[in-house]
């Protein structure tokens, strides 16, 4: 979905480095989400934000932090990257109304050596 | 606990309709049925969703049985670009559980 933009698209880095993945959206949605996907597995929720001042941990938040800089921007940080954080990372957004679907970005492929 | 059951794979001929079944026999009254697809490690693409009524958009149609225990996603004229993993998800909040889905292969 071109309305949800993730940067970078690919990143290779070393163990122990701090990494920031960025997500911006032009959909005007209040809610934003970060997921990771490992090979052959489904998506798992890392963090979610229902508005700028409402940030919540998902099912696998350990080792990650987030920042909601504005309604349109939601960043995911790995403070000290480790190899098992190698994965595909997806950002998603949704409107706040009940039942509204989530719309995903194209993902960031992160490799940690 | 898996909330939905989908066949692991199915083939479809290009130009024909693809009918993808999903069983969600334990669905709650306020849970929506969502369909997404993922094409080769791209981001999941939203297709369609519904609560009780059948729905249609430019991509697909969603048929939900009267008892809401199952649904069918219909791609009216499948193309090679529709080859993907299709996920049927039921949810009443922000939590989306992506299971194994159905791998759909459209053949020329």
pLDDT tens digits in sequence order for chain A, 113 residues long: 579 999 999 999 999 999 999 999 999 999 999 999 998 788 999 999 999 999 999 999 999 999 999 999 999 999 999 999 999 999 999 999 889 999 999 999 999 99
pLDDT in tens, B39-68: 988 999 999 999 999 999 999 999 999 999
DSSP β-ladder status, A4-7 and B45-50: unpaired
Q: How many of the other CB atoms lie within 10 Å of CB of B51?
A: 15
The three-class DSSP label of residue B77 is coil
Nearest CA to B32 out of B89, B87, B95 is that of B89
User: Which residue shows structure tokens 């960043």?
Assistant: A75
**What is the distance between the alpha carbons of residues A113 and A15, in angstroms, rounded to a whole number?**
6
DSSP β-ladder status, A19-25 and A4-7: antiparallel
Find the chain A residues whose C-beta atoms sit closer than 8 A to any C-beta of B. Answer: 1, 4, 31, 33, 42-43, 45, 48, 50, 88, 90, 92, 94, 98-99, 101-107, 109
The three-class DSSP label of residue B57 is coil
* Residue B42 contacts A where some CB pair is shorter than 8 Å: yes
pLDDT at A94: 96
pLDDT at B2: 57
**What is the distance between the alpha carbons of residues A108 and B43, in angstroms, rounded to a whole number?**
9
pLDDT at A41: 81
* Residue B53 contacts A where some CB pair is shorter than 8 Å: no
**B99: which chain A residues are within 8 Å (Cβ-Cβ)?**
42
Residue B86 confidence class, pLDDT cut points 50, 70, 90? very high
Instruction: State which H helix or E strand residue B39 sits in.
Output: none
Q: Pull the structure tokens for residue B34.
A: 């969502």
| Rounded average pLDDT over B15-19 | 97
Q: How many of the other CB atoms lie within 10 Å of CB of B97?
A: 16
pLDDT at A1: 55
The three-class DSSP label of residue A83 is helix
| Rounded average pLDDT over B62-88 | 97
pLDDT over 90 (residue B107): yes
Q: How many of the other CB atoms lie within 10 Å of CB of B100?
A: 16
**What is the distance between the alpha carbons of residues B11 and B21, in angstroms, rounded to a whole number?**
13
| Rounded average pLDDT over B13-20 | 97
Distance from CA of B97 to the nearest CA of A (A): 7
């Amino acid at each position: 979905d071109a309305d949800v933009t993730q940067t970078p698209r690919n990143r290779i880095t070393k163990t122990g480095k701090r990494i920031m993945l960025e997500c911006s959206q032009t959909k005007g949605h209040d809610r934003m989400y970060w997921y990771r996907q490992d090979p052959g597995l489904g998506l798992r929720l890392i963090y979610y934000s229902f508005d700028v001042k409402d940030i919540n941990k998902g099912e696998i938040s350990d080792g990650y932090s987030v920042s909601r800089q504005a309604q349109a921007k939601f960043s995911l940080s790995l403070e000290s990257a480790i190899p098992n954080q190698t994965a595909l990372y997806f950002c998603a957004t949704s409107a706040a109304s009940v039942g509204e679907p989530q719309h995903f970005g194209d993902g960031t492929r992160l490799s940690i050596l | 606990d898996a909330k939905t059951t989908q066949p692991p794979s199915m083939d479809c001929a290009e130009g024909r309709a693809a009918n993808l079944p999903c069983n969600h026999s334990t669905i709650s009254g306020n849970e929506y049925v969502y369909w997404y697809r993922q094409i080769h490690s791209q981001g999941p693409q939203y297709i369609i969703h519904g609560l009780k009524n059948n729905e249609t958009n430019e991509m697909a149609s969603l048929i939900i049985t009267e008892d809401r225990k199952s649904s069918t996603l219909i791609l009216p004229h499948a193309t090679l670009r529709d080859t993907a993993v299709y996920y049927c998800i039921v949810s009443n909040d922000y939590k989306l559980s992506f299971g194994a889905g159905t791998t759909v292969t459209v053949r020329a």
